[in-house]
Amino acid sequence: MTDDLDAVVELLDSANHVAVMTGAGVSKASGIPTFRDGPDAWWGQVNPLKLLTQASFDRDPGAVWGWHLHKRRLSLSKGPNAAHEVLAALERRPYASFTLVTQNIDGLHARAGSSGVLELHGSVHRARCERCGHLYELDDLGQDDEALPRCPACGEVLRPDVVWFGDDLDARVLSSSQRAFAEADLALVIGTSAQVYPAASLPTLTLRGGGQLVEINPEDTPLSRFADVRVTDAAWADGLLDSLEN
């Protein structure tokens, strides 16, 4: 195992099918707190097991929407950073396939230019109706933050299109993610603690298929010992952008 950005570039140059998974660490440089680490961590401010559940939403939808709208406002006030930009640039390379899977719900990958992002845990920018199944962009609803958003089709109170504790992942998103990693000859895992399943199991599908794994994270994770290359340098994205441009 090496810790060398040049080795990552070599693997990217020789790859045909690339699958990438990102976590909260990717958005940290944009000024969005991670969930677990540091004094500003989201889970230091709320108890997620009490707030981010269907039971909590049924009991107090206003409080749950308040948290999501706050995170949405924060996301909109920030911009993509070099990590988002380099992944958008990698997507434009002539790979046979390139799939970006994210655990993040902030929408910054799309704003950086990535297309077809598989959002495993949903998005704070969408809402869905549990009664009639409609999915809405919050921007399209003309939402007033003081009022609970309601379905234009049936009038039901909408819920954030975010995966909460106890929820199942969207089966289509999960299946597409699993297929991408199973077919990849190179998997990149960036800025994730690799502690949340089933997301943390995706890179193992690449390894089982004989592919290689790159982990980019300043901290050790449960995946670290399986990585062919590890990058711990916080400036990795700037370095990789420079390599792609030269």
| Catalytic center residues | 121
Residue 207 DSSP SS3: helix
Residue 130 DSSP SS3: coil
Sequence-ordered list of residues with C-beta below 8 angstroms from that of 114, at least 6 positions apart, any chain: 84, 87, 88, 91, 100
Strand partners, 118: 101
Go through 205-223 and write b for each residue having 16 or more CB atoms within 10 A of its CB, e for each that does not. Answer: bbbeeebbbbbbbeeebeb
Token code pair at residue 197: 């399943």
Go through 50-69 and write b for each residue having 16 or more CB atoms within 10 A of its CB, e for each that does not. Answer: ebbbeebbeeebeebbebbb
Rounded Cα gap, residues 107 and 109, in angstroms = 6
